[in-house]
Chain A
Amino acid sequence: MRDVAIIGVKNTKFGELWERSLRDIVVEAGIGAIEDTSVSGKDIDALYVGNMSGGRFIDQEHIGALIADYSGLSRNLHVPATRVEAACASGGLALRQAIMSVASGYSDIVVAAGAEKMTDVGSEEAASALAAAADREWEGMAGATFPGLYAMIAKLHMHKYGTTSEQLAEVAVKNHKNGYFNPIAQYKNKITVDDVLNSIMVADPLHIFDCSPITDGASALVLAPADVAHKYTDTPIYIKATAQASDTIALHDRRDITTLDATVVAAKRAYSMAKLKPEDIDLVEVHDCFTIAEICAIEDLGFAEKGKGGIVTENGETAIGGRIPVNTSGGLKACGHPVGATGIKQAVEIVTQLRGDAGKRQVAGAKYGMTHNVGGSGATAVIHIFSRER
Protein backbone atom coordinates (compact mmCIF):
# COMPACT_ATOMS: atom_id res chain seq x y z
CA MET A 1 0.00 0.00 0.00
CA ARG A 2 1.09 3.55 -0.72
CA ASP A 3 1.07 6.53 1.63
CA VAL A 4 -1.57 9.10 0.71
CA ALA A 5 -1.59 12.88 1.03
CA ILE A 6 -4.22 15.58 0.77
CA ILE A 7 -3.10 18.26 -1.63
CA GLY A 8 -6.16 20.49 -2.01
CA VAL A 9 -9.21 21.50 0.03
CA LYS A 10 -12.31 23.66 -0.28
CA ASN A 11 -15.58 24.23 1.60
CA THR A 12 -18.49 26.24 0.27
CA LYS A 13 -20.35 28.53 2.61
CA PHE A 14 -22.56 26.45 4.92
CA GLY A 15 -26.12 27.57 5.62
CA GLU A 16 -29.47 28.08 3.95
CA LEU A 17 -28.39 28.41 0.34
CA TRP A 18 -31.86 28.69 -1.18
CA GLU A 19 -30.68 30.35 -4.36
CA ARG A 20 -28.19 27.58 -5.15
CA SER A 21 -28.59 23.95 -6.22
CA LEU A 22 -26.68 20.84 -5.19
CA ARG A 23 -24.76 20.82 -8.47
CA ASP A 24 -23.82 24.52 -8.02
CA ILE A 25 -22.28 24.02 -4.60
CA VAL A 26 -20.50 20.75 -5.40
CA VAL A 27 -18.89 22.28 -8.44
CA GLU A 28 -17.76 25.26 -6.37
CA ALA A 29 -16.18 22.95 -3.77
CA GLY A 30 -14.66 20.58 -6.34
CA ILE A 31 -13.16 23.26 -8.56
CA GLY A 32 -11.97 25.14 -5.47
CA ALA A 33 -10.15 22.07 -4.14
CA ILE A 34 -8.54 21.45 -7.53
CA GLU A 35 -7.51 25.12 -7.83
CA ASP A 36 -5.88 24.75 -4.41
CA THR A 37 -3.35 22.48 -6.21
CA SER A 38 -1.64 22.51 -9.59
CA VAL A 39 -3.72 19.52 -10.71
CA SER A 40 -5.85 19.82 -13.83
CA GLY A 41 -9.01 17.94 -14.81
CA LYS A 42 -7.25 15.42 -17.03
CA ASP A 43 -5.08 14.30 -14.08
CA ILE A 44 -8.11 13.13 -12.08
CA ASP A 45 -8.50 9.36 -11.95
CA ALA A 46 -11.61 9.01 -9.80
CA LEU A 47 -14.29 10.87 -7.88
CA TYR A 48 -16.01 9.75 -4.67
CA VAL A 49 -19.00 11.69 -3.39
CA GLY A 50 -20.57 11.42 0.04
CA ASN A 51 -24.29 12.10 -0.13
CA MET A 52 -26.87 10.76 2.28
CA SER A 53 -30.24 11.39 0.77
CA GLY A 54 -30.36 13.21 -2.57
CA GLY A 55 -33.40 11.16 -3.45
CA ARG A 56 -35.41 12.64 -0.62
CA PHE A 57 -33.89 16.11 -0.27
CA ILE A 58 -33.75 17.10 -3.96
CA ASP A 59 -35.50 14.17 -5.65
CA GLN A 60 -32.30 13.25 -7.44
CA GLU A 61 -30.37 9.99 -7.31
CA HIS A 62 -27.32 9.02 -9.38
CA ILE A 63 -25.41 11.77 -7.59
CA GLY A 64 -21.95 10.45 -8.51
CA ALA A 65 -22.56 10.84 -12.22
CA LEU A 66 -24.39 14.14 -11.75
CA ILE A 67 -21.46 15.65 -9.97
CA ALA A 68 -18.86 14.31 -12.40
CA ASP A 69 -20.95 15.73 -15.23
CA TYR A 70 -21.34 19.22 -13.79
CA SER A 71 -17.69 19.31 -12.75
CA GLY A 72 -16.77 18.83 -16.40
CA LEU A 73 -15.26 15.41 -15.76
CA SER A 74 -17.72 13.28 -17.71
CA ARG A 75 -18.27 14.09 -21.35
CA ASN A 76 -14.66 14.08 -22.50
CA LEU A 77 -12.73 12.60 -19.59
CA HIS A 78 -15.22 9.93 -18.47
CA VAL A 79 -13.82 9.94 -14.92
CA PRO A 80 -15.37 7.16 -12.79
CA ALA A 81 -17.62 8.67 -10.12
CA THR A 82 -19.06 6.79 -7.15
CA ARG A 83 -21.60 7.93 -4.60
CA VAL A 84 -20.98 6.70 -1.07
CA GLU A 85 -23.77 6.50 1.51
CA ALA A 86 -23.58 5.85 5.23
CA ALA A 87 -26.11 8.38 6.55
CA CYS A 88 -24.29 11.27 8.26
CA ALA A 89 -20.98 9.40 7.85
CA SER A 90 -21.28 9.45 4.04
CA GLY A 91 -18.57 12.11 3.69
CA GLY A 92 -16.08 10.38 5.95
CA LEU A 93 -16.67 7.16 4.12
CA ALA A 94 -16.21 8.84 0.71
CA LEU A 95 -12.82 10.05 1.94
CA ARG A 96 -11.97 6.54 3.12
CA GLN A 97 -12.88 5.06 -0.30
CA ALA A 98 -10.73 7.72 -1.99
CA ILE A 99 -7.79 6.95 0.29
CA MET A 100 -8.08 3.21 -0.37
CA SER A 101 -8.26 3.89 -4.08
CA VAL A 102 -4.98 5.85 -4.06
CA ALA A 103 -3.27 3.60 -1.50
CA SER A 104 -4.03 0.48 -3.53
CA GLY A 105 -2.46 1.95 -6.65
CA TYR A 106 -5.66 1.78 -8.67
CA SER A 107 -5.76 5.59 -8.84
CA ASP A 108 -3.33 8.45 -8.44
CA ILE A 109 -5.20 11.74 -8.23
CA VAL A 110 -8.64 11.35 -6.64
CA VAL A 111 -11.26 13.89 -5.59
CA ALA A 112 -13.28 13.12 -2.46
CA ALA A 113 -16.30 15.35 -2.09
CA GLY A 114 -19.35 15.51 0.11
CA ALA A 115 -22.55 17.45 -0.31
CA GLU A 116 -26.10 17.79 0.89
CA LYS A 117 -28.84 20.24 -0.05
CA MET A 118 -31.30 20.00 2.83
CA THR A 119 -33.36 23.19 2.65
CA ASP A 120 -35.18 22.39 -0.59
CA VAL A 121 -37.72 20.50 1.55
CA GLY A 122 -39.56 21.65 4.68
CA SER A 123 -38.14 20.90 8.10
CA GLU A 124 -40.61 18.05 8.75
CA GLU A 125 -39.68 16.30 5.53
CA ALA A 126 -36.00 16.86 6.30
CA ALA A 127 -36.47 15.32 9.75
CA SER A 128 -38.23 12.35 8.17
CA ALA A 129 -35.38 11.84 5.67
CA LEU A 130 -32.85 11.97 8.50
CA ALA A 131 -34.88 9.49 10.54
CA ALA A 132 -34.22 6.97 7.77
CA ALA A 133 -30.71 6.61 9.22
CA ALA A 134 -32.22 4.83 12.24
CA ASP A 135 -34.09 1.52 12.18
CA ARG A 136 -37.33 2.55 10.46
CA GLU A 137 -39.24 -0.61 11.37
CA TRP A 138 -38.27 -0.92 15.03
CA GLU A 139 -37.36 2.61 16.12
CA GLY A 140 -39.20 4.83 13.66
CA MET A 141 -42.43 2.85 14.03
CA ALA A 142 -42.40 3.61 17.75
CA GLY A 143 -42.16 7.34 17.12
CA ALA A 144 -38.39 7.74 17.45
CA THR A 145 -36.73 10.86 16.07
CA PHE A 146 -33.00 11.50 15.94
CA PRO A 147 -33.09 14.06 18.74
CA GLY A 148 -35.16 11.47 20.64
CA LEU A 149 -32.52 8.75 20.26
CA TYR A 150 -29.70 11.06 21.36
CA ALA A 151 -31.92 12.35 24.18
CA MET A 152 -32.14 8.78 25.49
CA ILE A 153 -28.33 8.57 25.37
CA ALA A 154 -28.15 11.89 27.25
CA LYS A 155 -30.69 10.84 29.87
CA LEU A 156 -28.75 7.67 30.70
CA HIS A 157 -25.39 9.50 30.65
CA MET A 158 -26.79 11.95 33.20
CA HIS A 159 -28.18 9.10 35.30
CA LYS A 160 -24.96 7.05 35.29
CA TYR A 161 -22.33 9.78 35.44
CA GLY A 162 -24.05 12.89 36.79
CA THR A 163 -23.63 14.83 33.55
CA THR A 164 -25.71 18.03 33.66
CA SER A 165 -27.76 20.04 31.17
CA GLU A 166 -25.32 22.90 31.79
CA GLN A 167 -22.40 20.71 30.70
CA LEU A 168 -24.25 19.75 27.53
CA ALA A 169 -24.93 23.44 26.91
CA GLU A 170 -21.21 24.21 27.28
CA VAL A 171 -20.57 22.12 24.16
CA ALA A 172 -22.89 24.35 22.13
CA VAL A 173 -21.45 27.54 23.67
CA LYS A 174 -17.89 26.50 22.80
CA ASN A 175 -18.76 25.44 19.27
CA HIS A 176 -20.59 28.70 18.56
CA LYS A 177 -17.55 30.57 19.88
CA ASN A 178 -15.34 28.64 17.44
CA GLY A 179 -17.81 29.05 14.59
CA TYR A 180 -17.68 32.81 15.08
CA PHE A 181 -14.13 32.74 13.67
CA ASN A 182 -14.94 30.40 10.77
CA PRO A 183 -15.88 32.33 7.61
CA ILE A 184 -17.99 29.48 6.19
CA ALA A 185 -19.98 28.75 9.39
CA GLN A 186 -23.78 28.75 9.30
CA TYR A 187 -24.06 30.45 12.69
CA LYS A 188 -21.80 33.33 13.63
CA ASN A 189 -23.58 34.26 16.85
CA LYS A 190 -22.09 33.59 20.24
CA ILE A 191 -24.50 32.02 22.71
CA THR A 192 -24.59 31.45 26.47
CA VAL A 193 -25.48 28.46 28.62
CA ASP A 194 -28.74 30.24 29.52
CA ASP A 195 -29.58 30.68 25.84
CA VAL A 196 -29.32 26.90 25.41
CA LEU A 197 -31.28 26.07 28.56
CA ASN A 198 -34.01 28.58 27.70
CA SER A 199 -34.43 27.39 24.11
CA ILE A 200 -37.40 25.15 23.38
CA MET A 201 -37.26 21.51 24.41
CA VAL A 202 -37.10 19.12 21.44
CA ALA A 203 -36.72 15.83 23.30
CA ASP A 204 -35.98 16.03 27.00
CA PRO A 205 -33.18 16.77 28.01
CA LEU A 206 -32.15 18.16 24.60
CA HIS A 207 -33.14 21.73 23.74
CA ILE A 208 -33.11 23.02 20.20
CA PHE A 209 -29.72 24.66 20.86
CA ASP A 210 -28.38 21.19 21.72
CA CYS A 211 -29.10 20.12 18.13
CA SER A 212 -27.19 20.69 14.90
CA PRO A 213 -29.16 22.53 12.21
CA ILE A 214 -30.47 21.72 8.74
CA THR A 215 -27.78 22.92 6.34
CA ASP A 216 -26.81 23.19 2.69
CA GLY A 217 -23.13 22.83 1.89
CA ALA A 218 -20.42 21.03 0.00
CA SER A 219 -16.77 20.24 0.67
CA ALA A 220 -14.02 18.66 -1.39
CA LEU A 221 -10.51 17.32 -1.08
CA VAL A 222 -7.90 16.30 -3.63
CA LEU A 223 -5.74 13.28 -2.81
CA ALA A 224 -2.46 12.10 -4.30
CA PRO A 225 0.18 9.47 -3.58
CA ALA A 226 2.49 10.89 -0.89
CA ASP A 227 5.54 10.34 -3.11
CA VAL A 228 4.36 12.89 -5.68
CA ALA A 229 2.33 15.22 -3.45
CA HIS A 230 5.00 17.93 -3.51
CA LYS A 231 4.57 18.21 -7.25
CA TYR A 232 1.12 19.67 -6.69
CA THR A 233 1.36 21.64 -3.44
CA ASP A 234 3.89 23.04 -0.97
CA THR A 235 1.82 21.92 1.98
CA PRO A 236 0.69 18.31 1.61
CA ILE A 237 -1.01 16.85 4.67
CA TYR A 238 -0.51 13.12 5.13
CA ILE A 239 -3.09 10.47 6.04
CA LYS A 240 -1.76 8.48 8.99
CA ALA A 241 -4.85 6.34 9.50
CA THR A 242 -8.24 5.54 8.09
CA ALA A 243 -10.55 3.32 10.12
CA GLN A 244 -14.19 2.36 10.07
CA ALA A 245 -16.43 0.24 12.28
CA SER A 246 -20.09 -0.68 12.49
CA ASP A 247 -22.52 -1.37 15.31
CA THR A 248 -26.18 -2.28 15.58
CA ILE A 249 -28.40 0.11 13.68
CA ALA A 250 -30.92 0.32 16.53
CA LEU A 251 -29.78 2.07 19.69
CA HIS A 252 -31.67 -0.45 21.85
CA ASP A 253 -29.41 -3.33 20.75
CA ARG A 254 -26.18 -1.74 22.01
CA ARG A 255 -23.93 -3.19 24.69
CA ASP A 256 -23.97 0.18 26.48
CA ILE A 257 -26.35 2.94 25.37
CA THR A 258 -23.89 5.67 26.46
CA THR A 259 -20.90 4.30 24.52
CA LEU A 260 -20.64 4.23 20.75
CA ASP A 261 -18.71 0.99 20.34
CA ALA A 262 -18.24 1.71 16.62
CA THR A 263 -16.26 4.81 17.64
CA VAL A 264 -14.28 2.92 20.29
CA VAL A 265 -13.31 0.18 17.84
CA ALA A 266 -12.58 2.50 14.90
CA ALA A 267 -10.45 4.68 17.21
CA LYS A 268 -8.49 1.67 18.39
CA ARG A 269 -7.83 0.67 14.78
CA ALA A 270 -6.86 4.24 13.83
CA TYR A 271 -4.45 4.76 16.74
CA SER A 272 -2.83 1.42 16.01
CA MET A 273 -2.48 2.18 12.28
CA ALA A 274 -0.98 5.63 12.98
CA LYS A 275 1.12 4.33 15.90
CA LEU A 276 -0.18 7.23 17.98
CA LYS A 277 -2.00 7.66 21.28
CA PRO A 278 -4.80 10.08 22.21
CA GLU A 279 -2.19 12.27 23.97
CA ASP A 280 -0.39 12.76 20.64
CA ILE A 281 -3.40 14.30 18.91
CA ASP A 282 -3.37 18.12 18.85
CA LEU A 283 -6.96 18.72 17.76
CA VAL A 284 -10.04 16.78 16.72
CA GLU A 285 -13.21 17.39 14.76
CA VAL A 286 -15.89 15.17 16.32
CA HIS A 287 -19.43 14.39 15.24
CA ASP A 288 -21.47 16.71 17.48
CA CYS A 289 -24.85 16.25 15.82
CA PHE A 290 -26.18 16.80 19.34
CA THR A 291 -24.26 18.16 22.33
CA ILE A 292 -24.34 14.76 24.07
CA ALA A 293 -22.71 13.24 20.98
CA GLU A 294 -19.60 15.38 21.52
CA ILE A 295 -19.44 14.35 25.19
CA CYS A 296 -19.63 10.65 24.21
CA ALA A 297 -17.16 11.17 21.36
CA ILE A 298 -14.37 12.63 23.49
CA GLU A 299 -14.82 9.75 25.92
CA ASP A 300 -14.96 7.07 23.24
CA LEU A 301 -11.90 8.53 21.44
CA GLY A 302 -9.84 8.49 24.63
CA PHE A 303 -9.70 12.25 25.30
CA ALA A 304 -11.71 11.99 28.51
CA GLU A 305 -12.27 9.21 31.01
CA LYS A 306 -15.66 7.48 30.54
CA GLY A 307 -18.29 9.64 32.22
CA LYS A 308 -16.03 12.69 32.51
CA GLY A 309 -16.79 14.23 29.10
CA GLY A 310 -19.11 16.80 30.65
CA ILE A 311 -16.63 17.92 33.30
CA VAL A 312 -13.77 18.08 30.80
CA THR A 313 -15.90 20.36 28.59
CA GLU A 314 -16.99 22.52 31.51
CA ASN A 315 -13.33 22.96 32.52
CA GLY A 316 -12.45 24.34 29.09
CA GLU A 317 -10.11 21.48 28.19
CA THR A 318 -11.76 21.14 24.76
CA ALA A 319 -11.63 24.87 23.91
CA ILE A 320 -9.04 26.35 21.55
CA GLY A 321 -6.01 26.82 23.79
CA GLY A 322 -7.13 23.93 25.99
CA ARG A 323 -5.64 20.45 26.36
CA ILE A 324 -7.41 18.99 23.32
CA PRO A 325 -9.28 21.52 21.14
CA VAL A 326 -12.49 19.95 19.83
CA ASN A 327 -14.44 21.23 16.83
CA THR A 328 -12.43 24.33 16.01
CA SER A 329 -14.59 24.70 12.87
CA GLY A 330 -17.65 25.27 15.04
CA GLY A 331 -18.58 21.62 14.66
CA LEU A 332 -21.84 20.38 13.27
CA LYS A 333 -23.58 22.60 15.80
CA ALA A 334 -22.38 26.04 14.63
CA CYS A 335 -20.60 25.42 11.33
CA GLY A 336 -23.64 23.44 10.17
CA HIS A 337 -24.37 19.83 9.25
CA PRO A 338 -25.05 19.18 5.56
CA VAL A 339 -25.12 15.47 6.31
CA GLY A 340 -23.23 14.09 3.28
CA ALA A 341 -20.62 16.87 3.42
CA THR A 342 -19.78 16.78 7.12
CA GLY A 343 -17.07 14.11 7.03
CA ILE A 344 -15.24 15.95 4.24
CA LYS A 345 -15.66 19.33 5.94
CA GLN A 346 -14.07 17.92 9.08
CA ALA A 347 -11.03 16.87 7.03
CA VAL A 348 -10.87 20.30 5.36
CA GLU A 349 -10.75 21.90 8.81
CA ILE A 350 -7.96 19.62 10.03
CA VAL A 351 -5.90 20.19 6.86
CA THR A 352 -6.40 23.96 7.22
CA GLN A 353 -5.24 23.75 10.84
CA LEU A 354 -2.22 21.55 10.10
CA ARG A 355 -1.20 23.95 7.33
CA GLY A 356 -1.39 26.79 9.88
CA ASP A 357 -4.05 28.60 7.83
CA ALA A 358 -6.90 28.69 10.38
CA GLY A 359 -6.56 32.36 11.35
CA LYS A 360 -8.17 33.32 14.65
CA ARG A 361 -9.17 29.73 15.39
CA GLN A 362 -5.67 28.35 14.78
CA VAL A 363 -4.40 25.72 17.22
CA ALA A 364 -0.78 26.77 17.71
CA GLY A 365 1.79 24.30 16.39
CA ALA A 366 -0.72 21.58 15.50
CA LYS A 367 1.02 18.47 14.09
CA TYR A 368 -1.58 15.71 14.37
CA GLY A 369 -5.31 16.09 13.80
CA MET A 370 -8.22 13.64 13.87
CA THR A 371 -11.69 13.50 12.37
CA HIS A 372 -14.59 11.45 13.76
CA ASN A 373 -17.70 11.04 11.61
CA VAL A 374 -20.75 9.06 12.76
CA GLY A 375 -23.71 7.67 10.85
CA GLY A 376 -27.07 7.36 12.57
CA SER A 377 -27.00 6.91 16.32
CA GLY A 378 -23.63 5.15 15.98
CA ALA A 379 -24.12 2.30 13.51
CA THR A 380 -21.17 3.61 11.47
CA ALA A 381 -18.07 5.42 12.68
CA VAL A 382 -15.26 6.63 10.43
CA ILE A 383 -12.05 8.01 11.88
CA HIS A 384 -9.07 9.58 10.15
CA ILE A 385 -5.74 10.79 11.53
CA PHE A 386 -3.78 13.42 9.63
CA SER A 387 -0.22 14.62 10.03
CA ARG A 388 1.84 17.60 8.92
CA GLU A 389 4.83 15.32 8.44
CA ARG A 390 4.91 12.12 6.50
Chain B
Amino acid sequence: MSSVPRFWRSLGSRYNLEGTHCKECGEYFYPPRNVCVNCRRMGELESFKFKGTGEIVTYTLIHTAAEGFENQAPYTLAIIKLDEGPQLTSQVIGDSEKMHIGMRVKSVFRKLGEDGDRGMIYYGTKFIPADA
Protein backbone atom coordinates (compact mmCIF):
# COMPACT_ATOMS: atom_id res chain seq x y z
CA MET B 1 0.00 0.00 0.00
CA SER B 2 2.96 2.32 0.44
CA SER B 3 6.68 2.25 1.04
CA VAL B 4 8.55 2.80 4.26
CA PRO B 5 10.45 5.93 3.12
CA ARG B 6 7.35 7.49 1.60
CA PHE B 7 5.45 6.91 4.80
CA TRP B 8 8.29 7.84 7.12
CA ARG B 9 8.83 11.34 5.75
CA SER B 10 5.24 12.29 6.48
CA LEU B 11 5.01 10.70 9.92
CA GLY B 12 4.50 13.93 11.85
CA SER B 13 1.66 14.94 9.60
CA ARG B 14 0.02 11.54 9.68
CA TYR B 15 0.33 10.98 13.43
CA ASN B 16 -0.44 14.47 14.66
CA LEU B 17 -2.56 15.92 11.85
CA GLU B 18 0.17 18.48 11.34
CA GLY B 19 0.02 20.77 8.31
CA THR B 20 1.18 24.25 7.46
CA HIS B 21 -0.12 27.79 7.90
CA CYS B 22 0.87 30.74 5.74
CA LYS B 23 1.61 33.78 7.90
CA GLU B 24 1.30 35.98 4.81
CA CYS B 25 -2.25 35.16 3.63
CA GLY B 26 -3.52 33.18 6.62
CA GLU B 27 -4.51 29.99 4.74
CA TYR B 28 -4.01 26.59 6.34
CA PHE B 29 -2.81 23.53 4.41
CA TYR B 30 -3.25 19.85 5.04
CA PRO B 31 -1.49 17.83 3.73
CA PRO B 32 1.38 20.28 4.40
CA ARG B 33 2.77 22.26 1.49
CA ASN B 34 6.24 23.68 1.05
CA VAL B 35 5.00 26.61 -1.00
CA CYS B 36 1.85 28.64 -0.29
CA VAL B 37 -0.44 28.22 -3.31
CA ASN B 38 -1.73 31.79 -2.91
CA CYS B 39 1.45 33.73 -2.17
CA ARG B 40 3.89 31.29 -3.76
CA ARG B 41 7.45 32.54 -3.11
CA MET B 42 6.17 35.52 -1.09
CA GLY B 43 4.46 33.28 1.44
CA GLU B 44 5.81 32.34 4.86
CA LEU B 45 4.86 28.86 6.01
CA GLU B 46 4.96 27.58 9.57
CA SER B 47 3.90 24.18 10.80
CA PHE B 48 0.46 23.95 12.36
CA LYS B 49 -1.35 21.24 14.31
CA PHE B 50 -5.04 20.94 13.44
CA LYS B 51 -7.71 20.41 16.09
CA GLY B 52 -9.02 17.42 14.16
CA THR B 53 -12.66 18.39 13.98
CA GLY B 54 -14.58 19.01 10.80
CA GLU B 55 -17.41 17.80 8.58
CA ILE B 56 -17.98 15.42 5.69
CA VAL B 57 -18.00 17.22 2.32
CA THR B 58 -18.71 14.03 0.35
CA TYR B 59 -18.16 10.30 0.83
CA THR B 60 -18.49 6.87 -0.71
CA LEU B 61 -18.73 3.33 0.53
CA ILE B 62 -15.96 1.46 -1.27
CA HIS B 63 -16.83 -2.16 -2.05
CA THR B 64 -13.97 -2.95 -4.45
CA ALA B 65 -11.01 -2.13 -2.24
CA ALA B 66 -7.71 -0.53 -3.10
CA GLU B 67 -4.70 -2.86 -3.02
CA GLY B 68 -3.81 -3.53 0.62
CA PHE B 69 -7.26 -2.54 1.90
CA GLU B 70 -9.06 -5.79 0.99
CA ASN B 71 -9.62 -6.76 4.62
CA GLN B 72 -11.33 -3.47 5.36
CA ALA B 73 -13.93 -3.52 2.56
CA PRO B 74 -16.52 -2.20 2.49
CA TYR B 75 -15.13 0.99 4.00
CA THR B 76 -16.25 4.60 3.98
CA LEU B 77 -13.89 7.03 2.27
CA ALA B 78 -14.65 10.71 2.65
CA ILE B 79 -13.43 14.18 1.88
CA ILE B 80 -13.45 16.04 5.17
CA LYS B 81 -13.30 19.78 5.63
CA LEU B 82 -11.37 20.63 8.77
CA ASP B 83 -12.71 23.55 10.80
CA GLU B 84 -9.56 25.55 10.00
CA GLY B 85 -10.39 25.26 6.27
CA PRO B 86 -8.35 22.61 4.45
CA GLN B 87 -9.88 19.40 3.09
CA LEU B 88 -8.39 15.94 3.17
CA THR B 89 -9.24 12.40 2.12
CA SER B 90 -9.66 9.89 4.93
CA GLN B 91 -11.65 6.91 6.08
CA VAL B 92 -14.56 7.44 8.41
CA ILE B 93 -15.21 4.60 10.85
CA GLY B 94 -18.73 3.84 11.96
CA ASP B 95 -22.14 2.84 10.67
CA SER B 96 -22.06 3.57 6.94
CA GLU B 97 -25.86 3.87 6.92
CA LYS B 98 -25.62 6.90 9.18
CA MET B 99 -22.99 8.73 7.15
CA HIS B 100 -24.21 11.90 5.50
CA ILE B 101 -22.89 15.03 3.87
CA GLY B 102 -22.42 17.70 6.54
CA MET B 103 -21.92 15.14 9.34
CA ARG B 104 -19.57 16.37 12.09
CA VAL B 105 -16.51 14.18 12.57
CA LYS B 106 -13.37 14.14 14.71
CA SER B 107 -9.96 12.60 14.11
CA VAL B 108 -8.69 9.45 15.80
CA PHE B 109 -5.35 7.65 15.71
CA ARG B 110 -5.76 4.28 14.00
CA LYS B 111 -3.92 1.55 12.16
CA LEU B 112 -4.10 2.26 8.44
CA GLY B 113 -2.60 -0.96 7.09
CA GLU B 114 0.45 -3.16 6.98
CA ASP B 115 3.08 -4.53 4.64
CA GLY B 116 1.96 -8.15 4.75
CA ASP B 117 2.54 -10.41 7.77
CA ARG B 118 6.08 -9.28 8.58
CA GLY B 119 6.23 -5.76 7.23
CA MET B 120 5.75 -2.36 8.75
CA ILE B 121 2.41 -1.46 10.33
CA TYR B 122 1.16 1.93 9.24
CA TYR B 123 -0.65 4.17 11.67
CA GLY B 124 -2.28 7.50 11.02
CA THR B 125 -5.47 9.50 11.14
CA LYS B 126 -9.01 8.29 10.51
CA PHE B 127 -12.24 9.97 11.53
CA ILE B 128 -15.27 8.98 13.60
CA PRO B 129 -18.61 10.73 14.13
CA ALA B 130 -18.09 13.70 16.46
CA ASP B 131 -20.78 12.51 18.88
CA ALA B 132 -19.24 9.03 19.23
Contact = CB atoms under 8 A, between A and B. Distances in A.
Q: Do A and B bind each other?
A: yes
Interface of A: 124-125, 127-128, 131, 136-145, 147-148, 151-156, 159, 200-206, 250-253, 257
* Most chain A beta-carbon neighbours within 10 Å: one of B62, B66, B80, B124: B66
B63 A144 contact: no
B98 interface: no
Contact of B60 (A127, A128, A203): A203
Q: Taking chain B's interface residues, is the majority helix, strand, or loop, or is none over half, making it mixed?
A: strand
A142 B89 contact: yes
Contacts of A257: 57-58, 79
13 contacts: A124-B67, A127-B66, A141-B2, A142-B112, A143-B66, A143-B69, A145-B62, A155-B101, A203-B60, A203-B61, A204-B62, A251-B89, A257-B79
Given A143-B69, A144-B77, A257-B79, A138 B88 contact: yes
B40 interface: no
A192 B121 CA distance: 45
B20 interface: no
A143 B91 contact: yes
Interface residues of B, number: 34
A252 B79 contact: yes
A258 to B, nearest CB: 9
B89 A252 contact: yes
A203 B63 contact: yes
A204 B63 contact: yes
B34 interface: no
B39 to A, nearest CB: 16
Contacts of B69: 143
Interface in B83-127: 87-91, 101, 112, 122, 124
Contact of A131 (B6, B59, B66, B79): B66
Q: Taking chain A's interface residues, is the majority helix, strand, or loop, or is none over half, making it mixed?
A: helix
A147 B66 CA distance: 10
B31 to A, nearest CB: 5
A383 B65 CA distance: 32
Contacts of A201: 61, 63
A142 B91 contact: yes
A250 B89 contact: yes
Given A138-B88, A152-B77, A253-B87, A143 B62 contact: yes
B17 interface: no
Contacts of B112: 141-142
A202 B69 CA distance: 14
B78 interface: yes
A148 B62 contact: yes
Contacts of B78: 152
Contacts of A204: 60-63
6 smallest CB-CB distances across A and B, nearest first, come from A151-B60, A156-B58, A252-B87, A204-B61, A143-B69, A152-B58
Nearest to A211: B64
Nearest to B70: A124
A204 B75 CA distance: 11
